[in-house]
Amino acid sequence: MAAMSMTIRLLAILGATLLGACAPAPEAVHCRRLDVVSMGPENGFRTRVAGEVQETVDDPAGRIDVAVTAAPPLSGPITLIQTVEGREVARWDIAPPPSAGAVHRCSIGFTTSDPSCGAGVRIPSRSHRIAGEWSVQPNGNRILEASVSFHRCD
Amino acid sequence: MARRGRVHGSVAALTITVPVRRIRRVRLRLCSSAIVLVILAAGPAAAQNPVCAAPAAGEVLRTSCRAWASASVVRLLDDFTVDHLLKPSLPSFERTWPQLVAAFASRSLSENDAFRALAKSLEPLRFTQLDRTTGTVSCDLAASPRQVDVESVGFGGVPASLHLALPEVLEGGYWRGPDVVQIVFWQRHRLGMRVNLDGTAVAQGDVQCLSLSPDGLLVRFAEEGNAPVFIKIRDCEP
């Protein structure tokens, strides 16, 4: 009985913490995150966003988040490449800030005011289509996997 | 070490297929400590797809903000990556409920002796790796009550009530990347919940899918029409 009471109290705490100190309010989505298949050894560090996907990342609030699991420290920039039908449309030499753990993160936006991927790294066009093949080149870094996620704001 | 075989886990939103995989050991240095790592090596297996539906344009979510939880959520994701991807020879690992909740809980709650004592009453969740990006999750709740009603949980001083329906075994599959963990729960193995705030339901349904990233936690319910809950961590003001 005591164990059941403890369980109930714990679940009450879990429920409260899940929903936060403030009640969740209904809100139409403004910005959305799109996760895609991550890049690792089994897919040659390449992933594909289907060509029929018309989604874009748009200025000013959109961004591309990059996460890389690698043995620290990184010895230099990692290259992220987007190609469409074999034609390279974007290339970024990204240098994520030092991480305390194995995962290194940075965001590619439309300005360089938040240079989390390194100075000068930004999305080249004001409305950037995300379809195509994405790949990473480790450039000597010991990368285990990498991912890109796209943040689109309406 | 090599393991061969096919593993299937299937639900409406997820089909996991691992045809063949090979595991090889490598040694890497992480954080100045030499750790023996296991990397899922290249093979015929393809990387798997996300298991939770991304929010659609204009979709209405029940949204709240916990911007201060950013660091703890990132740490939770990083630790998950290490346990899933880097720990050697251990196909499964556990997370206690307090470990999962702590990412969102206040420090005062996390350091509360009573809370920590209570935490021991629930079995931990066991995550079992299938390949680099997927695995299964289960939690034996047979010893817990099936229905739980709690009054006066309270959100910001407003009276609230919480109803929970617990399966005997909470069970599902997960998909992960370096920056995200998504868990989809199998039918009849889902946690049911309803939160009433001042008499009005603000969140209800069988939890079908959880998606955790540095952006926040998205909770989708199995019932169509039940608005998902999104706890924002990034890009919001508490």
Number of residues assigned to chain A: 154
The DSSP line for A73-111 is: SP-S-EEEEEEETTEEEEEEEE-PPP-SSSEEEEEE-SS
Residues of chain A positioned with their CB less than 8 A from the CB of B31: 72, 100-101
The residue in chain A having the minimum alpha-carbon distance to the alpha carbon of residue B227 is A26
Chain-wide mean pLDDT for chain A?
86
**B154 to chain A: closest CA residue:** A16
Cis-peptide, bond into residue A60, ω within 30° of zero = yes
Chain A residues inside the 8 Å CB shell of B101: 13-14, 17-18
ipTM for this model: 0.88
Contact assignment for A42 to B227 by CB distance below 8 Å: no
At B120-136, the pLDDT tens digits run 677 899 999 999 999 99
Each residue's pLDDT tens digit, B164-221: 888 999 999 999 999 999 999 999 999 998 888 777 888 899 999 999 999 999 999 9
Domain positions in chain B: 57-232
Report which secondary-structure segment, H or E, holds B113: helix B113-119
Cβ-defined contact of B42 to A41 (cutoff 8 Å): yes
Residue A131 to residue A83: CA distance in whole angstroms: 9
How confident is the model over A83-113, as pLDDT tens digits?
999 999 999 999 998 888 899 999 999 986 6
